[in-house]
């Protein structure tokens, strides 16, 4: 039954239909899994529409693998997911880097605070908004990394 799943696009949010296509499961199955796996909590917006993030799509693929390919029961898969998440927490606590499949680039420590929002004025409003959001996210990531050290 092993069919290869499509690559996950570089998007911030995915609808339940997109996640169903990316993971090879129907939307009603995803809604059921939300009840069974407490770690799976998509953001809900207007009209209770679900929006999944990249890490949740990966989690759904892991759940699908446990249930469909490895033959776990729902209860067994739930326990296995809790075990896997606890192992990841332990690795983080011990300072191990958890970047499977991610290429790590070394960069010089640049003071991002020198980057002024006014420099964005030459770009369109849409691009400017995206860059400002990206800048905020970089600051948040830097703060999270500083806290974990």
Domain harbouring 22, CATH code: 1.10.1660.10
Give the count of domains, the chain.
2
Confidence label for 112 from pLDDT (cuts 50, 70 and 90): very low
Q: What does the pLDDT look like over 26-46, one tens digit per residue?
A: 999 999 999 999 989 999 998
Task: Indicate if 43 and 81 belong to the same structural domain.
Answer: yes
Beta strands in the chain (DSSP E): 14-15, 43-45, 49-52
Q: Distance between CA atoms of 24 and 1, rounded to whole angstroms?
A: 11
Task: Indicate if 23 and 66 belong to the same structural domain.
Answer: yes
Give yes or no for residue 123 having a pLDDT over 80. no
Give yes or no for residue 61 having a pLDDT over 90. yes
Task: Indicate if 46 and 117 belong to the same structural domain.
Answer: no
Give yes or no for residue 125 having a pLDDT over 70. no
Average pLDDT for the chain: 79
For residue 105, being part of any structural domain is answered with no
CA distances from 144 to 57, 65, 149 (A): 22, 31, 9
Task: Indicate if 18 and 89 belong to the same structural domain.
Answer: yes
Q: What is the pTM of this model?
A: 0.60
Task: Indicate if 72 and 132 belong to the same structural domain.
Answer: no
Identify the domain containing residue 60 by its residue range.
14-93
Task: Indicate if 43 and 75 belong to the same structural domain.
Answer: yes
Select from 120, 114, 112, 116 the least CA-distant residue to 142. Answer: 112
pLDDT at 33: 96
Task: Indicate if 83 and 120 belong to the same structural domain.
Answer: no
């Amino acid at each position: 039954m092993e069919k290869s799943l499509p690559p996950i696009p570089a998007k911030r949010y995915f609808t339940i239909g997109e996640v169903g296509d990316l993971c090879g499961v129907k939307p009603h199955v995803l809604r059921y899994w939300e009840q069974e796996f407490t770690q799976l909590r998509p953001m809900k917006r207007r009209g209770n529409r679900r929006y999944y993030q990249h890490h949740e799509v990966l989690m759904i693929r892991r759940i699908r693998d446990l249930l469909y390919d490895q033959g776990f029961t729902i209860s067994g898969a739930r326990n296995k997911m809790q075990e896997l998440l606890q192992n990841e927490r332990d690795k983080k606590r011990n300072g191990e880097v958890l970047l499977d499949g991610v290429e790590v680039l070394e960069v010089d420590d640049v003071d991002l605070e020198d980057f002024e929002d006014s420099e964005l004025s030459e770009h369109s409003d849409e691009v400017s908004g995206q860059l400002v959001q990206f800048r905020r996210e970089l600051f948040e990531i830097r703060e999270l990394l500083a806290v974990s050290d």
